[in-house]
């Protein structure tokens, strides 16, 4: 399948990125190279998160956490527009997200004992489960499947955006944040969508490798995976907190 005809719901996998990359001068992208870079980004994230967790009570505040979250979004957008700098942007994104994840994890840990360890185990367990499902072909990433997941991600993004805007205006969507059966059900559906997004990431990485994408695109692939893994982790935290509340 031609690389330029491939599509993914993950914004890091956009064919416009490929137009800015030199396929001739660079070495070719490999699965092993992408895996190694993903592991490196995860290590950076975990180390930074540990520091953030330790300093959360003395340094972090909600406005600062919101600023860090916005900076993470800016880095993702920059990675899309400037893929030639992905080797710098991806580690920086991992560092910034580590600060955010550490602070959020500390907040959840103070309210729910053992929730962070459980969320982390579920996240990586789901990661390997989705990899097995993808490799075994139990779920095939077809155009229809990709379209459905893309639409689901878009709906979730709109729902969260409306919730954030409503929060600033004093209107809270209780069904997203309370522990009612409806809220738990919504969180479960969102978590499943986040998990299924990993299949799209695996599929695009494999297609890009087969199509001869440049070596630098390994950073884009690893960053895309990190985006989804962090999303999945946050959804597990949210779901577990509702179940324990």
Is the pLDDT assigned to residue 142 strictly greater than 60? yes
pLDDT 10s digits, 101-113: 998 999 899 889 9
Q: Are the CB atoms for 103 and 65 separated by under 8 Å?
A: yes
Q: Which 8-state DSSP code applies to residue 13?
A: S
**Torsion-angle region of 14 (φ positive above 0: left; ψ -120 to 50: alpha; else: beta):** beta
Q: 144 burial class (0-12, 13-18, 19+ CB within 10 angstroms)?
A: exposed
Cα–Cα distance, 85 to 98 (Å, whole number): 20
Which stretch of DSSP H or E encloses residue 174?
A: helix 174-177
Alpha carbon 117 to its chain's center: 18
Question: Which one is predicted more confidently, 178 or 9?
Answer: 178
Q: For residue 196, what pLDDT is reported?
A: 97
CA distances (Å), 13 to each of 3, 182, 220, in order?
10, 33, 8
DSSP 84: G
Query: How does the average pLDDT of the chain come out, rounded?
Result: 85
> Would you say residue 194 has pLDDT above 50?
yes
Residue with the larger pLDDT of the pair 93 and 64: 93
Of 155, 165, 163, 218, the C-alpha closest to 9 is: 155
pLDDT given for residue 5 in this prediction: 37
Give 177's pLDDT tier (boundaries 50, 70, 90): confident
Nearest CA to 66 out of 163, 164, 166, 153 is that of 164
- The pLDDT of residue 58 is 54
Which one has a higher pLDDT value, 3 or 194? Answer: 194
Query: Mutual orientation of helices 181-210 and 115-136 as an angle, nearest 10°?
Result: 50
Statement: residue 26 has pLDDT above 70:
no
Q: What is the pLDDT of residues 51-86, one digit of tens each?
A: 888 876 555 566 677 777 788 888 888 887 887 888
Q: How far apart are CA 199 and CA 136, in angstroms?
A: 12
Cα–Cα distances in Å, from 218 out to 15, 121, 223? 15, 25, 8
* Whether residue 50 has pLDDT greater than 70: yes
171 has pLDDT over 80: no
**Cα 50 to chain center, whole Å?**
19
pTM of structure? 0.85
Q: What is the pLDDT of residue 6?
A: 40
Residue 57 is predicted with a pLDDT of 54
Q: Is the pLDDT of residue 154 over 70?
A: yes
């Amino acid at each position: 399948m031609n690389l330029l005809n491939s599509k993914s719901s993950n914004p890091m996998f956009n064919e416009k990125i490929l137009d800015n990359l030199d396929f001739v001068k660079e070495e070719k992208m490999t699965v092993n190279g992408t895996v190694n870079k993903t592991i490196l980004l995860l290590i950076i994230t975990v180390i930074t998160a540990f520091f953030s967790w330790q300093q959360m009570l003395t340094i972090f505040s909600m406005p600062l956490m919101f600023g860090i979250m916005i900076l993470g979004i800016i880095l993702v957008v920059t990675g899309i527009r400037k893929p030639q700098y992905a080797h710098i942007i991806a580690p920086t994104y991992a560092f910034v997200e580590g600060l955010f994840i550490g602070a959020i994890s500390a907040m959840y840990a103070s309210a729910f004992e053992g929730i962070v360890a459980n969320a982390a185990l579920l996240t990586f367990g789901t990661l390997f489960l989705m990899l097995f499902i993808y490799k075994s072909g139990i779920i095939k990433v077809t155009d229809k499947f990709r379209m459905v997941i893309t639409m689901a991600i878009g709906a979730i993004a709109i729902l969260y955006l409306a919730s954030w805007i409503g929060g600033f205006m004093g209107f809270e969507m209780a069904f997203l944040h309370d522990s009612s059966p409806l809220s738990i059900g919504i969180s479960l559906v969102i978590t499943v969508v986040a998990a299924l997004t990993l299949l799209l990431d695996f599929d695009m990485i494999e297609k890009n490798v087969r199509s001869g994408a440049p070596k630098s695109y390994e950073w884009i692939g690893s960053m895309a995976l990190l985006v989804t893994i962090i999303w999945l982790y946050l959804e597990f935290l949210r779901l577990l907190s509702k179940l324990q509340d």
